[in-house]
């Protein structure tokens, strides 16, 4: 369903960034060569250390960043051939998202539904379903500012899938969640898989991948070094042990 071919992305570093990174290089290679495929009805986990290029890869999948080289193909077509159509069929959630505190979940849902050209009936039906599922219905008219952290995270999640997307791209989906919300999110991702959605998540949490992912792409220093089923990658070990074995084989830096 979604095919990623040899993605590359670099960023120009400002003098301040060069100073912080203690480098004289003006260019930072965030993603050097990443390829993989994600199919319907599966959860693909992108695993890597901080700064490996996971978030940049997901942002290219979400069409926020344009690859310098390589392609993202959706149902066989380059996503930039009809970006609007592609965007209607994806949902993207970043852990950096903070909702506007003034609005209510109800208002935000309706607003995003309009951006997706959804009809009134479609919006109401979808809203009712998702709000009930995540227990937001009782807080639908409460301002985001007055919601608990867990509830805010659930609202963020719901907002990112207003349009019932076929491809769901989540950057660190359980990052900072309380244990109850984390369970709800994990169960929901599994349910979406059952519905035939294509789910791509990035994380550095081994247990999450072990729990929900069907296949794994390991990214080290901007390169996809391994793409296989979870079972094959683990090869009888824990995912953590497998990761560090591969990481060291590929010359990954263990000194942080």
Partner 1 sequence: MDRIIAVMKKEFFRFFHDKRMLFSSVLLPGVMIYVMYSIIGQAGASQRNVEDDYQTVAYGINVPASLQPAFESMNIQFETDITDIVEMKQKVEDKEVDLILAFSQDFDAQVAVYDSMTATQPAPQVEVFYNSSRTESSKAYAAVTSVLSQYESSMINKFDVNGNTDNKYDLASDKDSTAQLFSMLFPMLLLTFVFSGCMALAPEAIAGEKERGTITTILVTPIRQTELAIGKIVSLSVMSILSAISSFIATVLSLPKLIQGDGVDNISANVYSVTDYLVIFFVLISSVIVIISVISIISAYAKSVKEAGTLVTPLMIIVMLIGLTAMFDGAAKSEIYWYFIPLFNSVQSMLQVFSFDIHIVPVIVTIVSNIVYGGIFAVVLAKMFQSERIMYSK
Max CA separation in the chain (angstroms): 56
Closest separation in Å from C-beta 64 to partner 1 = 6
Figure out which of the listed residues 44, 79, 155, 159 binds partner 1, where binding follows CB under 8 A.
Answer: 159
Closest separation in Å from C-beta 96 to partner 1 = 4
Shortest CA distance to 225 belongs to which of 208, 242, 201, 200?
242
Figure out which of the listed residues 12, 15, 22, 24 binds partner 1, where binding follows CB under 8 A.
Answer: 12
Q: Which stretch binds partner 1 (CB under 8 A): 85-93, 175-183, 195-203, 212-220?
A: 85-93
Q: Total residues contacting partner 1 (rule CB under 8 A)?
A: 34
Does 63 bind partner 1 (CB under 8 A)? Our answer is yes
Task: Return phi, psi of residue 46, to 5°.
Answer: -100, 115
Figure out which of the listed residues 62, 72, 130, 147 binds partner 1, where binding follows CB under 8 A.
Answer: 62
Does 107 bind partner 1 (CB under 8 A)? Our answer is yes
Does 141 bind partner 1 (CB under 8 A)? Our answer is no
Give the separation between CA 163 and CA 148, rounded to whole angstroms. Answer: 25
Figure out which of the listed residues 50, 84, 119, 255 binds partner 1, where binding follows CB under 8 A.
Answer: 84
Does 111 bind partner 1 (CB under 8 A)? Our answer is yes
Figure out which of the listed residues 22, 102, 179, 194 binds partner 1, where binding follows CB under 8 A.
Answer: 102
Q: Are strands 90-93 and 2-12 parallel, antiparallel or unpaired?
A: unpaired
Task: Return phi, psi of residue 20, to 5°.
Answer: -65, -45
């Amino acid at each position: 369903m979604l095919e990623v071919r040899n993605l590359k992305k670099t960023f120009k570093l400002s003098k301040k960034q060069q100073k912080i990174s203690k480098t004289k290089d003006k260019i930072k290679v965030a993603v050097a060569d990443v390829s993989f495929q994600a199919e319907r009805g599966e959860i693909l986990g992108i695993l890597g250390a901080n700064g490996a290029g996971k978030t940049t890869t997901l942002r290219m999948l979400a069409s926020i960043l344009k690859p310098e080289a390589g392609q993202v193909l959706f149902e066989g077509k380059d996503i930039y051939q009809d970006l609007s159509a592609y965007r209607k069929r994806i949902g993207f959630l970043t852990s950096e998202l903070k909702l506007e505190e003034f609005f209510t979940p109800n208002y935000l849902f309706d607003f995003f539904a309009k951006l997706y050209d959804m009809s009134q009936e479609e919006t109401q039906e979808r809203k009712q379903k998702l709000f009930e599922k995540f227990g937001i219905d009782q807080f639908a008219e409460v301002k985001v500012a007055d919601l608990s952290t867990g509830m805010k995270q659930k609202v963020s999640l719901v907002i990112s899938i207003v349009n019932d997307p076929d491809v769901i791209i989540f950057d660190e989906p359980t990052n900072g969640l309380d244990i109850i919300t984390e369970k709800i999110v994990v169960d929901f991702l599994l349910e979406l898989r059952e519905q035939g959605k294509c789910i791509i998540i990035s994380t550095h949490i081994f247990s999450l991948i072990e729990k929900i992912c069907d296949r794994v792409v390991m990214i080290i220093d901007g390169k996809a070094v391994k793409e296989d089923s979870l079972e094959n990658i683990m090869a009888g070990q824990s995912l953590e042990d497998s990761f560090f074995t591969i990481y060291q084989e590929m010359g990954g830096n263990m000194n942080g």
